[in-house]
Amino acid sequence: MGWGILDFIFGPSGDIQQKLRLIEGRVYSLKAENTRLAAECHELRRQLNEARAAITAASDALLQVDTSPITEAGNDHL
């Protein structure tokens, strides 16, 4: 079983400096991807909060609906 990154850096083929540049490039790429995902997560949280507010408002509006029976004037005996 290998050592992963150590095998990659100190393995039998290739220049160590070139390998380190590849690793540095990958780290930069991962940081950029992390930044993009963080922004996407922030936007999704904002949308979720908007949806929650809309659901709360709709729920509150439904609670205000008058469900008592409708009676017409003069028909109070029904």
**What are the tens digits of pLDDT across the range 7-62?**
777 766 667 788 888 889 999 999 999 999 999 999 999 999 999 999 999 999 88
Cα maximum dimension of the chain? 100
Q: How many angstroms separate the CA atoms of 61 and 63, rounded?
A: 5
Give pLDDT, residue 10: 72
For residue 8, which amino acid is it? F
Task: Tell me the whole-structure pTM to 2 decimals.
Answer: 0.58
